[in-house]
Structure 1
Amino acid sequence: MVSNKGLGKGLGALFPGAQADEEDVTNEISLDELRPNPYQPRKNFDTKALEDLISSIKEHGVVQPLVVRKSIRGYEIVAGERRFRAAKEAGLEQVPVVVRDFSDEQMMEIALIENLQREDLNPIEIAQAYQKLMQHFSITQEELSVRVGKSRPHVTNYLRLLQLPQKIQEDVSRGTLTMGHARALRGVQDHDLQLKLAKKVVKEQASVRQLEEWIQQMNQSKRKKQKKKSDAANLELKRYEEVLQETFSTPVRIRHGQKKGRIEFEYYSEKELERLIEIFQHSFAD
């Protein structure tokens, strides 16, 4: 797991009004009237952290008011679901709240951003949250980086993790592969090779540095093979040139490309050109 201590800014700074301020008017609302944010993607809460919060609430009460919005039946929690759950477990009947007016779209955005404030998120969960924000609100990576208070390269690096094979994403989620391993594997184009390297890393508990060395060695080996292949092809072209030069008694150059090429015949006089044309005509006539 990675430590994700905020996003450089608190939820209140990223989304004004999503947290209660000291000057806000608070109301005591029955827990029975409160409902979780329907757009909250987070379903599981850290048991230990929740137990610590329950103990704190039993001793000091709910210090920070929840932010809610009025709904058809009671209120929906905008921010503070952990406090709501802990208060319930602590045996409270009411909690302090600040009522605000938010649209469904704002509720969804707040839920996603609040989810990103968690400290126990793994890199894939962060990447998925970024992707959801971009998809739901049709924003660019640049706009997202501003919204979550992170740099553009940071956002890009996380989103690129979602291009890795599913098996590797699962390893990153479990922590058997780190963010560093994942970034190194992103530099390998072949998915099958990515999977083989990931399996080797997990099996040998290799460091990011070791993985980078493996990839570097593979790239060097690949370049050597390509050079050897290229040298062999050049030798073959040279042989063809020699055959043509011997046949036409003039210098010949073969220019070979990936999809097409050309053959160049040199001549030094009009008479030499006429000789070559005559040879071509005879060749085609035969």
Structure 2
Amino acid sequence: MSKKRVVCSSKDYESGEGIVLVKVSELHDFKDHPFKVEQNQELFELRQSMEKEGVLVPLLIRHNTDGDGYEIIAGHRRKAAAIWAGMEEVPAIIRDLDDDQSIIAMVDSNLQREKILPSEKAFAYKMRLEAMKHQGRVDDMTSDPLGPKYMENNRSNEQLARMVGESVTQIKRYIRLTKLIPKILDMVDRELLAIRSAVEISFLTEAEQYELHAVMELEQCVPNISQANRLKRMSQQKCLDMDMIYEILEEIKPNQREQIKIPLERIGKYFPADYTPAQQADLIEKLLKGWAQKNRKSNVH
């Protein structure tokens, strides 16, 4: 494969922040990077674009604090696409940022993506709020997000809510998801488990969550919000075990009960015009009851 052309802007940057070419082999992922890089259609299209036009947006990196090379702050997908395209070097901007500054820049750059998984939002929101706290700009936001109310001046949550277009309550729910075991969090990402139910489940102990996941896998079912809340309360009362999990999950949910639906055009003509749906249902039940009684009497004779 021929060497790919690297394209980058000639714009002048502040001293120490100019664009340089860096070997891909010297680039290391950001520690605890919460955003997944998957070899999917989007990455394939990015690879094609980079093969044709080069890397139009330089990566943002800093010197690796744990060893040689550099740590990526923004550009993990561009690095993966460059490797896929066979590139050996990519343009990058090197900045001297501390851990908290790097976390904020890393999270903010990724929150602009069109599609973000719940697990990605969960850890990204948590990391950003903790970084803001460390910088001494806001109050402590890292305690239980669904516990007692925070101090009134909870500016960090409000600031983040405005930035990402989420409600403060929803941000707290996402952060609570970081308490889930990976297998259950993956179910949330795959839209097999509702976020509200997952938040309730997050209050279970790790051992209880693994037992719950085993039951969900075996029975091919998930708890609704009401059942998840009961699991949470049983856990808090120290009386949740495998048998209780089975008992709760085996309950028939309202949307699972069998129903007989008869189109109104089939039976509506037999009711008085002023009959309400409740009166129609009562009459049907009364007629069926009379039919059943008559049928039982005829069977006796």
TM-score w.r.t. the length of structure 2 is 0.46
Q: Which has the higher contact order (CA 8 A, sep 6+)?
A: 1
Q: Comparing both structures, which one devotes a greater share of its residues to helix?
A: 1
